[in-house]
Structure 1
């Protein structure tokens, strides 16, 4: 519901593609960039646990990065970790994605 409301992603798109999906990560990053009028928009959507969600196992995370050159989405699998660890490691992956984009400019 928050993804739909805050980032203007139609609920029907979330129902069709799932909250945890490449599509949703892409749209979230693009909307974050657009709404903040920033050079970059970053998004994370995934399953931190303790249970699986939408058929995705715990530790599945999609990370999106929107910028002038387009939007990139990566999927990472951080299984076998605590909920806090999954979230922490996912954020580190997101920071690394931004770092690489900054270095490529």
Structure 2
């Protein structure tokens, strides 16, 4: 689930895409997407300008919600552009840095996906 602000607080369910899908030439392509990123949406729903910084929340098997991504960029072609999913920074790729900067030390972050 993603949450955006725009003029109203909104949320939507989005499909998390494989890196393979997102890096296809007619999607974002391999030059734009890195392993530190997650793509979500793109078939019918994608983000809009103003969504940057919003979370990509995923529900764990035990029912609690975890932040897996932070919205990074969307297509300049407009909202809900086909084959241009919202690209999120993968939180787990920066877990050590978050723990260090957040003062969590050896306790770590734990619930970040």
Same fold (TM over 0.5): no
Task: Calculate the TM-score normalised by the size of structure 1.
Answer: 0.31
Task: Calculate the TM-score normalised by the size of structure 2.
Answer: 0.30
Of structures 1 and 2, the one with the larger relative CO (CA 8 A, separation 6+) is 2
More strand by share: 2
More helix by share: 1
Q: Quick check: which has more Rg, 1 or 2?
A: 2
